[in-house]
Amino acid sequence: MFRLFKNIDRKNYRPIMGGLDIFKFIGPGLLVTVGFIDPGNWASNLAAGAEFGYALLWMVTLSTIMLIFLQHNVAHLGIATGLCLSEATTIYLKPKYSKFLLSTAMLASISTSLAEILGGAIALNMLFNIPLQAGALLVTIFVMIMLFTNSYIIIEKWIIAFVSVIGLSFLYELSLVNIDWNSAITGWVTPSFPKGSMLIIMSVLGAVVMPHNLFLHSEIIQSRQWNLKDEKVIKKQLRYEFMDTLVSMLIGWAINSAMILLAAATFFYSKTPVSELQQANQLLAPLLGNNAAVVFAVALLFAGIASTITSGMAAGTIFAGMYKEPYDIKDNHSRVGVAISLIIAFGIILLITNPFQGLIISQMILSIQLPFTIFLQVYLTSSEKVMGKYKNSKHSKILLYSLGVIVAVLNIALFISLFVG
């Protein structure tokens, strides 16, 4: 699915278009979806359901709605300009601003990689009793080999398919547990802030609306880039891309909601505190019996590997964009970006004493960086200099900036809850 975008003539590349054009556009949205059913999401969702029942389901709904608009908007940037978000930032902003913003994006990518690698390490510990630090090293080395050799292309679709099947197993299990659907429906549409919930709320937000995915989506959409001079082609791309994004994000909403529902129906009502991700294998026991722990661990391992690949690619995209270059793993700048994210994340893991809490905090860090990326993205996509006639309409601009304000306000509320109590 991914290509060496640096070697594509983005202005003139145009394959033959037939009656089933829409299937040529399917993919980028699904890869973003894989990014937000990663180990960090599993930890955030389990904590949300176990501690607060159905009360925080609204955060999954809000985050997914925000994600649909933001992902479509950033893909719009890639389609209309042929640039990823990082490249556009470097080209159209003053160096002091672009370097600061992209540096914070790299920090977010490191935080993401930390959660993904740690999730894979926890899975190896569950499967083979490998110590977390050793497991993290194995995951880091394996993913770097896959990225640097491009061998991930061979198993990419299998990873997506496997993670999707595991996600569907969560959905199927809803029929096997006692869900209070009235409370669930209320939770999906009614914002609430239970005492002590702000850290979890922000971790859920950061786990769904992930900054690195905004950078990555604007890059991988280039694999669908055909003819930037043909207005009909651009409009068709925008229409099909939106369908890809919408369907993919709704799948992610369903899977994340299912995790909270199951945690609420088991841990919350049995008043079982969740302090380890390994405890979640109990959720699969009604469906898979004694093999639940193994199946859960294998799913977690594949989810960790798949999402670590995307976080590494996002880091490569961000870093290469600092030099006005597209992602190309054969280029040194892309390689350095990938290495920075994965190696530093691994180094931090060596210092972590509470892996589950580390996953939660890593997702919270993403939510803190998120307003920077949102405001940056909306500024660029609203600029006629950048987008030409495809710039955001007045209503779109107001909506997108409002999303940025909502995230900023939630961040302020988080800090108040942490320091004021």
pLDDT in tens, 280-297: 666 656 655 666 667 777
Query: What was the pLDDT predicted at 23?
Result: 47
**Helices 292-321 and 332-349, packing angle to 10 deg:** 130
- Contact between 210 and 112 (Cβ < 8 Å): yes
Distance, CA of 159 to CA of 167 (rounded, Å): 12
Q: For residue 315, which of 298, 300, 336 has the smallest C-alpha distance?
A: 336
Query: What was the pLDDT predicted at 353?
Result: 80
Percent pLDDT > 90 in the chain is: 31
Highest mean pLDDT among 233-237, 317-321, 403-407: 317-321
The residues, ordered by sequence, that sit 6+ positions from 311 with a Cβ below 8 Å of its Cβ are 35, 109, 112, 113, 116, 212, 341
Residue with more model confidence, 254 or 364: 254
Whether the predicted pLDDT of 231 surpasses 70: no
Beta strands in 131-257 (DSSP E): none
Mean pLDDT (whole number) for 71-98: 91
pTM of the model: 0.81
Whether the predicted pLDDT of 224 surpasses 60: no
Largest CA distance in the chain: 60
Query: What was the pLDDT predicted at 126?
Result: 85
Mean pLDDT (whole number) for 125-138: 92
Whether the predicted pLDDT of 61 surpasses 60: yes
- The band of 153, judged by pLDDT with boundaries at 50, 70 and 90, is low
Tell me which of 20-29, 35-44, 70-79, 327-336 is least confident. 20-29
Whether the predicted pLDDT of 160 surpasses 60: yes
Distance, CA of 189 to CA of 396 (rounded, Å): 23
Query: What was the pLDDT predicted at 5?
Result: 42
Query: What was the pLDDT predicted at 384?
Result: 92
Mean pLDDT (whole number) for 152-172: 68
Mean pLDDT (whole number) for 150-172: 67
Residue-level length of the chain? 421
Whether the predicted pLDDT of 307 surpasses 80: yes
Domains and CATH numbers, the chain: 5-420 (1.20.1740.10)
- The band of 2, judged by pLDDT with boundaries at 50, 70 and 90, is very low
Mean pLDDT (the chain) is: 80
Query: What was the pLDDT predicted at 144?
Result: 92
Mean pLDDT (whole number) for 383-404: 91
Residue 348, CA atoms < 13 Å, CB-side half-sphere: 21
Tell me which of 193-197, 218-222, 398-402 is least confident. 218-222
Query: What was the pLDDT predicted at 174?
Result: 74
Query: What was the pLDDT predicted at 17?
Result: 43
Query: What was the pLDDT predicted at 119?
Result: 87
Query: What was the pLDDT predicted at 187?
Result: 94
- Contact between 224 and 3 (Cβ < 8 Å): no
